[in-house]
Amino acid sequence: MARTPAELAAARPGPPFEITVDGRPVTALPGQSLAAALWAAGILAWRTTRIGGRPRGAFCGIGQCYDCLATVNGRPNRRACLLPARAGDVVTTQEGHGRAEPDV
């Protein structure tokens, strides 16, 4: 009999909620990191490298490698593996250095 990890741990998460990733709605659960919610939705990359524009997503999962950087709610360079998903979060793919354009 196949059982899910939530069943094995007897976890009873609260109701799912929605975040937006590059304009696309994604369902998340209370207690999930943004990286976990993205993985669950089949999104494996949400950053590109400065040189070459290669895709990156979660690598270490504990906030040490910085591969999981994303722009969250307009703030660049947020570590998706450490940041809890919150209802209404807006995540956008971070390109290159992630610095916001200067205000003129």
Alpha-helical segments (H) within the chain? 5-8, 34-40
CATH class of 15-95: alpha beta
Which amino acid does the sequence have at 18?
A: E
Q: What is the pLDDT of residues 77-90, one digit of tens each?
A: 999 999 999 999 99
| Beta bridge partner(s), residue 55 | 48
Give the predicted TM-score (pTM) of the model: 0.79
Q: What's the pLDDT score for residue 100?
A: 53
How crowded is residue 85: how many other Cβ atoms within 10 Å of its Cβ?
25
Least Cα distance to 40 among 87, 103, 85 occurs for 85
Which residues have a Cβ under 8 Å from the Cβ of 89 and sit 6 or more positions away?
19, 20, 28, 34, 72, 73
Q: Where are the domains positioned within the chain?
A: 15-95
Q: What is the pLDDT of residues 35-84, one digit of tens each?
A: 999 999 999 998 888 888 888 888 888 888 888 899 999 999 999 999 99
Residue with tokens 């943004």: 34
